[in-house]
Amino acid sequence: MKKIQEIGVLACLAAALGGIAWWSGRADTVEATGNSFAVKDVRVFDGESFIERATVVVRDGRIEAVGADARIPTGARVVDGKGKTLMPALIDAHTHNWGDAQRDALRFGVGSELEMMGAAQSLPGYRRHREAMRRTDEADVWSSGAAVTVPGGHGTEYGFPVPELKPGEDADAFVRARIIEGSDFIKLMIDDLHAYGGTQRMPTLPRSQIEASIAAARRQQRMSVAHVAAQDDALHAVNAGVDGLVHAFVDQPASDGMIAAMKANDTFMVPTLSVIAGFGRSDISARLAEDPQLQARLTAAQKASLRAQFPPAFPTQPKALDNAIESVRRLHAAGVDILAGTDAGNPGTAHGVSLHGELALLVRAGLTPSQALRAATSRPAARFGLKDRGRIAPGLRADLLLVEGDPSKDIQATRRIVTVWKNGYAQSADAPAAGQAASIQDADRLVSDFDGGDLSTRFGSGWQAASDSFMGGKSGAETRWTAGGAGKSKGAMRIEGDVAAGPAPWAGAMFSPGSGPMQPVNLGARQAITLKVRGTPGDYAIVMLHGEGQVAAVPIQVTGDWKAVRVSLAQFAGADLARVSAIGISNSRIGHFQVDLDDVAIE
């Protein structure tokens, strides 16, 4: 063979192998990595509308193709979607995040959360997390960071220091400081409690500062959103140009003037019906905790949080939910943008799971299932500028939720979760198991008879005066031994203090039954708390701290004479009796009080 022929043969071989490489590339194959797959023959909700039967192809964490004839690359992992519905991972447009929030959210198919006030130091972490495409078991978060509020106003009562806009201060500088901290949008706290109909009041932003803050946010190219509880405050904020109301107002249904103003300003509303249901102490959230479709993914902490109620001192507004639902009905009918949000982080809500409850509430308020799903996917993404999510379309991030059944017919189908994908990676399904708390000794029943001349207890880690002061409130109390107890016994415990007005005022005393203060114990085998009590006459509450720090309370009547009280543990509705960290007595009436306890026992 001549040299030239040999080179020719080699060149042909090179060309052939090159052709194979070219053809392989063209043949549309995927490496079987964790974030590439296809779901075929599935009903698709693409963020806007339903497609009865389609195939969705995901490559390297992004959606590559959607459609009835989308071609599945050779070698792709294929998920059979028959009888199921694939939708974008949900977006919760009102949350407060700490602890396991993002994990809980994602396990329930909520891929993104919009935090409406939170710790500013979390903001850089949120940003890094949502910009990455790596495998994660947490939802992404956009956050307002610190809110615009006044000293003593809403947002200051949670026991951590927050920046405050003081009277006469420059709203522009305050807003700029938030943006420098990394706030994605600006949240205003507009609530003096007058919406709840009581006499209780709380400081709030004056209207001039509201207008200045909204204008400052606009000048600095940030959205502004407002916490409101009353329609008059809401109307003012809307007319001042706020981009959205992140609660429905609870005092009355939306008026015609309100509807017109929101339409004219293109203002959206995140009604947060889930948390508002709790203002009337409804059991809607507690029922979510019982839903068999949700059990496998619920943690004990989530269940406890769903069953938790606002403390007795928190203003009650029995018509709150009815008013809010009627507002949503009217606003939606008029074409105002409604977004799904839960206010998760508050009593009666839990991250992730509550958004499924919110969808059902929105349907109850007149949205079709398809509109409710839009309110939890494409609408919040469009309003908050989340460019790579909220829809199933080529190029978008593969944050996806696969459910059994057809949510266009039954919105509760979203609860039948099959698989959740984040950044194209499938998530594991089951809730992590909570640690088991220790039981107390069988003999440990009597806590204190106060006959020894002091406040000592037979077990646990003692009595402590407690009040709203640890959450920033102004109330206070003291405990001391006093001679002459119930039934001529030697002594009792006297709790004396003052309850000062605030968002959730209370004062009293707590006993920790665990080996260390606030160490949870399992009271599952016990029946009741018994005690003898006398004091300043009025309503008090026997309270229990349980689960991850939720509060349950049972009201009792106290008179000036000694009276034996027995509170069955079953009366603490929704309490996680397997993890009780404290029991105690609390008073929420404003003013001075004195109450004596004797012969306290856990039977």
Partner 1 sequence: MNALVLDERTPHSVPSVARIYWLETRNEFLRMLRTPMFALPSLLFPLVFYVMFGVLLNRGSGGMGSYMLATYGVFGVMGASMFGFGVTVAMERSQGLLRLKRALPVPAGAYVFAKTGMAMMFVLMISLSLIALALLLAKVTLTPAQAAMLVVINLLGTLPFAALGLYVGTLCGANGAPAVLNMIMLPMAFLSGLWLPLSMLPAWLQKIAPVWPSYHLSQLALKVVGGDAGQAVGLHVAALLLVTAVFAVLARSRLAAAA
Q: Which residues bind partner 1 (CB under 8 A)?
A: 1, 6, 9-10, 12-14, 16-18, 20-21, 23-25, 27, 29-33, 73-76
Helices marked H in 268-376 = 273-279, 284-290, 300-307, 320-333, 353-364, 369-375
Residue 243 region by backbone torsions, left for phi larger than 0, else alpha for psi between -120 and 50, else beta = alpha
Pick 17 or 260: Cβ nearer partner 1: 17
Q: How far is the CB of 175 from partner 1 (least distance, A)?
A: 43
Q: How far is the CB of 13 from partner 1 (least distance, A)?
A: 5
Burial 487-516 (b: 16+ CB within 10 A, else e): eebebbbbbbbbbbbbbbbbbbbbbbbbee
Pick 13 or 570: Cβ nearer partner 1: 13
Q: How far is the CB of 14 from partner 1 (least distance, A)?
A: 8
Q: What angle do CA 319, 325, 329 make, to 5 degrees?
A: 140
Q: How far is the CB of 22 from partner 1 (least distance, A)?
A: 8
Q: How far is the CB of 411 from partner 1 (least distance, A)?
A: 38
- Other beta carbons within 10 angstroms of residue 349's beta carbon come to 29
Pick 77 or 445: Cβ nearer partner 1: 77
Pick 12 or 296: Cβ nearer partner 1: 12
Q: How far is the CB of 40 from partner 1 (least distance, A)?
A: 15
Q: How far is the CB of 53 from partner 1 (least distance, A)?
A: 24
Pick 6 or 454: Cβ nearer partner 1: 6
Pick 32 or 570: Cβ nearer partner 1: 32
Please report which helix (H) or strand (E) contains residue 286, including its range. helix 284-290
One-letter amino acid at 49 equals S
Distance CA 285, CA 586 (A): 25
Pick 2 or 488: Cβ nearer partner 1: 2
Pick 5 or 221: Cβ nearer partner 1: 5
Identify the CA nearest to 268 among candidates 328, 311, 347: 328
Q: How far is the CB of 291 from partner 1 (least distance, A)?
A: 36
Q: Which residues contact 10 (CB under 8 A, 6 or more apart)?
A: none
Distance CA 430, CA 510 (A): 35
Residues 338 and 271 sit within 8 Å (Cβ to Cβ): yes
- Other beta carbons within 10 angstroms of residue 120's beta carbon come to 18
Identify the CA nearest to 447 among candidates 357, 523, 540: 523
Residues 96 and 345 sit within 8 Å (Cβ to Cβ): yes
